[in-house]
Amino acid sequence: MTDRQAALRDIAAGLLGGGQFATFIGFRAGLDPSRPVPHFVRDASGAGALVINPFCGAGLARHVLEALEDGPVGILTRGCDGLGLERLIADGRVARERLHIVAVACRGAVDPARARAILGRIPERAEVDAQAVTLIAGEERRSVPRDSCLLSRCLNCVDPSPRLADSWLDEPLPAGVRDFKAVSHMEQQPPEARYAFWARQFRRCIRCYACRNVCPACSCRSCSLDDPELQERATSLADQFGFQFTRAYHVAGRCVACGECQRACPMSIPLSLLNEKFLKDIRDSFGIADPHRPSAVEPLACYRPDDPESWRGDAR
Partner 1 sequence: MTMNLLPSERLAEFRECLAAGARLYGPVEVDGIVLFEELGGRPPAIRPGNPANSLKSFLCPQTEAVFDFEGGYTDVALRVPAAPTAQAIFGVRPCDAVALERVSRVLLAEPFADESYRQRREMTTILTMACREAGPHCFCRSVGVSPADGRGSDVVLYPADGHYLLEAVTARGLSVLQSAGAFLDPARDEAARATCQSTPVPLIGAVEREDLAARLEAVALHPHWDELARRCLGCGACTFLCPTCYCFALFDTVRGARGRRSRGWDSCQFKDYSLMAGGHDPLPTKASRIRRRFLHKLSRFPAVQGEYACVGCGRCGGTCPVGLHLAGVLSELEEVLR
In the complex, the residues that contact partner 1 under the rule CB under 8 A are 23, 30-31, 35-40, 58, 62-63, 66-67, 113, 116, 122, 200-201, 204, 206-210, 212-214, 226, 228, 231-235, 260, 263-264, 266-268, 270
Nearer to partner 1, 193 or 301 (CB): 193
| CB of 9 or CB of 263, closer to partner 1 | 263
Q: Which is nearer to partner 1, 27 or 278 (CB)?
A: 27
The span from the CA of 74 to the CA of 56, in Å, is 17
Name the burial class of residue 16, with classes exposed (0-12), middle (13-18) and buried (19+) by CB atoms within 10 angstroms of its CB: buried
Minimum distance of partner 1 from residue 313's CB (angstroms): 28
Rounded to a whole number of angstroms, the minimum distance from the CB of residue 295 to partner 1 is 27
Distance (Å, rounded) from C-alpha 287 to C-alpha 271?
A: 24
Q: What's the min distance (Å) between Cβ of 316 and partner 1? A: 38
Cα 170 from chain centroid?
A: 21
CB of 145 to partner 1, least distance (A): 16
In whole angstroms, what is the distance from residue 9 CA to residue 2 CA? Answer: 11
Q: Which is nearer to partner 1, 4 or 35 (CB)?
A: 35
Question: Judging by DSSP bridges, how do beta strands 23-28 and 73-77 pair with one another?
Answer: parallel
Task: Tell the smallest beta-carbon distance from residue 112 to partner 1 (Å).
Answer: 8
* Residue with smaller CB distance to partner 1, 39 or 280: 39
**Cα dihedral sign, 164-25-78-11:** positive
As measured in angstroms, the least distance from the Cβ of 110 to partner 1 is 14
**161/169 Cα distance (integer angstroms):** 11
State which residue, 14 or 30, has the beta carbon closest to partner 1. 30
Residue 27's SS3 state is strand
φ/ψ bin of 209: left (φ > 0), alpha (ψ from -120 to 50), beta (otherwise): left
